[in-house]
A and B are shown apart, each in its own frame.
Chain A
Amino acid sequence: MNAPESTPLRRSGTISGDRITLSHGSGGRAMRDLIDDVFVRIFDNPLLAPLEDQARIDLAALAAHGSRLAMTTDSYVITPLFFPGGDIGKLAVAGTVNDLAVSGARPLYLTCGMIIEEGLPIAELRRIAESMQATAQAAGVRIVTGDTKVVPRGGADKLFINTAGIGVIPHGVDIRADRARAGDLVLVNGYIGDHGAAVVDARGELALDSGVASDCQPLAGLIADMLAACPDVHCMRDATRGGVATVLNEFAQASRCAIRLDEDALPVRESVRGVCEILGLDPLHLANEGKIIAVVAPEHADAVLAAMRAHPAGRDSRIIGRVDAAPQGTVLLATHFGGDRVVDMLFGDQLPRIC
């Protein structure tokens, strides 16, 4: 009965039909075919291939990277699935990679849970999986285990993806929101608000044609270069939903300090400003998917900035503000016009104003 090891009993399945049906989530052969033909084929790696219910990771190999494990999870829900500069798959990998990397961790392994609405074209799913794989390769991570569910039409909006990730934090790195100190400088790795503006535009309700593309990108490489220049980065987060304003408020509150921004130093594209002017939005509140805010001691700022600018994901990096002792828990902006204002966290969604 035992087959020789070189000829597996089970052949890799091939999916038929153009669209996902409920049978692709049934647990039976159709599901197996989907997993084989889309996910295993595209995510191709030795940890995933055995198709056990879990990926098995060698502890000694992990420990070689550092002493602490970083673990995170995020779910990705976006309309439309494809937008200028990215798609939900790229987002799902880059987002979780970045959540790991901002702790200083080297991201290593991701999971991929998919909730698919019946009727999704298989070609779209394939494109999304290919995009996930390309992003994972760029970030140096592997997708090692996954799950697929199919829900009836209306039970989900086309496709939801959850990715969890683990990474290892090297010795000597201690990045926390409560470590900002008076005198520290605040850095960003490029133009802010691109993702938020691109998605508003891609929904097509406003026919703006702004030409803005999402900044969606994994930042593990950039952050590794920054830490090589200065391992003692004080605070770092990616400015996703809620935008730069939210991250800075989190730092100011956790560190009991003030953060002062200079509007003239904020990198905002003209096209993003245009979208904000028309809709009454604030670029500081727009989502980013490839932007980090870092707080570093002033004596290290030049080295970190130089390392950032030398990396493709940080070419337009800038110092945008500094940390002050008071007023505690507050983010202030010196406006180009000459006044000052407080930059608050976003409460709920930004809603367009009536007039």
Chain B
Amino acid sequence: MQYVDEFRDPDKARALVRQIEALLARIPAARDRPLQIMEFCGGHTHTIFRYGIEQMLPERIEMVHGPGCPVCVLPMGRVDDCIAIAARPGVIFTTFGDAMRVPGSKKSLLQAKADGADVRMVYSPLDALELARRHPDREVVFFALGFETTMPSTALTVQQAEREGLRNFSLFCNHITTVPTIKAILDSPDMQIDGFLAPGHVSMVVGEAPFAFVARDYRRPIVITGFEPLDILQSLWMLIRQMAEGRCEVENQYARVVPKGGNPPGLQAIADVFELREFFEWRGLGSIDHSGVRMRERYAAFDAERRFAVPNLRIADPKSCQCGEVLKGTIRPWECKVYGNPCSPQAPLGALMVSSEGACAAYYNAGHRTRRVQLDPRLSARLETAA
């Protein structure tokens, strides 16, 4: 398949791994633990597991899977709010598919749908807008979530709704921001991360500049990274090269998609519709300053939070949950006290078990069913018979 297979070439992958090994030899082993590299974005986590990249890497590199899965980090209280809105008579509640299964304190949207709420899966906020046009007698609410990646499309949808004078369309805004969250991770005292893969799609919107502080203020190299498996390997190579050469910079591996300045019209739409909240609650990480956005006063008519009284209760994460430590690389997913039992993808306690992009769920689905590590990391299933 053109534009796909080129980025999954096994020969290029092997060559990159050899080059990474060569660079690693130039970095003195200053301590007894591996180099920890965090991929912030859940999309990267997905790629790493789907292509088995961890098994290909030298043992000195350990991937730490970050909080960049917007579905995982959604606090239970917000899911409860969604369900409260969805259960109102006359409401059509629209959402991206993978948010359907996120557990609230009592149930998920999928269960609320079974209980009779009109919850519908959409592929784009524009699908929700179309529903609003088709059902003028119903209140159509779009569950807006995601990092800066999805903000422009929701912002443009709201602007479109305003232009059309639609009165039955609103957003339940749960958009979150990347940079304050990376900063919160960097500021935590037990942080051990040596370098970062920055999220490619977020960067496509915000550009390179917002990540400069990571290199400048925290002395950690950071590489903006694409989502194909060769993108990940090439970015790791760029990151290790910075370390070998003693540099700390923002580099852009995903230049075929990410312009240095991001997407100015997208940023403009975001600035027009949204403003920063003082703080936002994250499942697993707690409250982080300026880590979410809400709708500006000017668009109050399209703000589901203002239009419907939502319970807005804060539901604390279970005390036994160690998602925060996993996210910071202090412990590995399977070292958490509740990993596998009772916390599993079927009955997640913590954020990282919620979606397949969460670090714990990814390990669990990859066969690490209990706290004991079961898998030989260097398996070979290659068939001699395959032609």
- Chain A contact residues, CB within 8 Å of chain B: 185, 205-206, 260-262, 264-265, 270, 273-274, 277, 319, 321-322, 327, 330, 332-342, 344, 347-348, 351-355
The size class of the interface chain B forms with chain A is: 35 or more
* A343 CB to nearest B CB, Å: 9
B52 contacts A352, C-beta separation under 8 Å:
no
A354 contacts B98, C-beta separation under 8 Å: yes
Contact indicator A355/B383 (Cβ below 8 Å):
no
Contacts of B385 in A (CB 8 A): 185, 265, 319, 322
Q: Is B1 an interface residue (CB 8 A)?
A: yes
- Minimum CB distance partner of B357 in chain A: A353
What CA separation (Å) do A273 and B2 show in the bound complex?
12
The residue of chain B having its C-beta at the shortest distance from the C-beta of A326 within the complex is: B376
Q: Is A262 in contact with B52, judged by CB distance below 8 angstroms?
A: no
Q: Would you give the shortest CB distance from A157 to chain B, in whole angstroms?
A: 16
Q: Are B55 and A347 in contact (CB under 8 A)?
A: no
CA distance A330 to B53 in the complex (A): 19
The 8 Å CB contact of B381, one of A262, A337, A352, is A262
Pick the contact of B379: A265, A340, A347 (CB < 8 A).
A340
Q: Whose C-beta in chain A lies nearest to the C-beta of B100?
A: A351
Check if B91 is an interface residue, CB within 8 A of chain A. no
30 contacts between A and B (CB under 8 A): A205-B123, A206-B123, A260-B381, A262-B381, A319-B383, A319-B385, A322-B383, A330-B367, A334-B379, A334-B380, A337-B229, A338-B10, A338-B51, A338-B52, A338-B56, A339-B55, A340-B378, A341-B51, A351-B100, A351-B101, A351-B121, A352-B98, A352-B121, A353-B97, A354-B96, A354-B98, A354-B145, A354-B150, A355-B43, A355-B150
CB of A352, distance to nearest CB on chain B (Å): 4
From the candidates B1, B70, B229, B375, name the one contacting A342 in the complex (CB within 8 A).
B375
Query: Which chain B residues lie closer than 8 Å to A338 at the CB level?
Result: 10, 13-14, 51-52, 56
8 A Cβ contacts from B330-387 to A: 345-346, 357, 365-367, 374-376, 378-383, 385-387
Say whether chain A's binding surface is mostly helix, strand, loop, or mixed. Answer: mixed
Q: Does B135 contact A (CB under 8 A)?
A: no
Query: A262 is contacted by which of B46, B54, B123, B382 (Cβ under 8 Å)?
Result: B382
Q: Residue-by-residue, is B49-77 near A (CB-CB < 8 Å gives 1, otherwise 0)?
A: 11111111000000000000011000000
B386 and A339 within 8 A (CB):
no
Residues of A within 8 A of B381 (CB): 260-262, 321, 332-334, 340
A327 touches B367 (CB 8 A): yes
A-facing residues in B133-156 (Cβ within 8 Å): 145-147, 149-150
A264 near B52 with CB under 8 A, answer no
Within the assembled complex, what's the spacing in Å between the Cα atoms of A270 and B385? Answer: 22
Flag if B383 contacts A265 (CB, 8 Å).
yes
Residues of B36-54 at the interface with A, using a CB-CB cut-off of 8 Å, are: 43, 46, 49-54
Contacting pair B8 A265 (CB below 8 A): no
Q: Name the B residues within 8 Å of A185 (CB-CB).
A: 385
Q: List the B side residues contacting A261 at CB < 8 Å.
A: 381
Report which of B70, B100, B366 forms a contact with A341, defined as CB distance below 8 A.
B366
Contact B374 A327 (CB under 8 A): yes
**Inside 8 A of B201's CB, which chain A residues have their CB?**
355
The answer, yes or no, to whether B4 is at the interface (CB within 8 Å) is yes
Given contacts A327-B375, A337-B10, 12 further A-B contacts (CB under 8 A): A319-B386, A322-B385, A327-B367, A332-B379, A334-B381, A338-B14, A341-B366, A348-B110, A354-B71, A354-B145, A355-B70, A355-B150
Inter-chain contacts of B96 with A (CB < 8 A): 352-354
Q: Which residues of chain A are near B380, meaning CB under 8 Å?
A: 334, 340
Question: Which B residues touch A330, using CB under 8 A?
Answer: 367
CA distance A206 to B127 in the complex (A): 10
Q: Which 8 A-B pairs give the minimum distances between C-beta atoms?
A: A339-B52, A260-B381, A351-B97, A334-B381, A342-B367, A265-B386, A262-B383, A337-B51
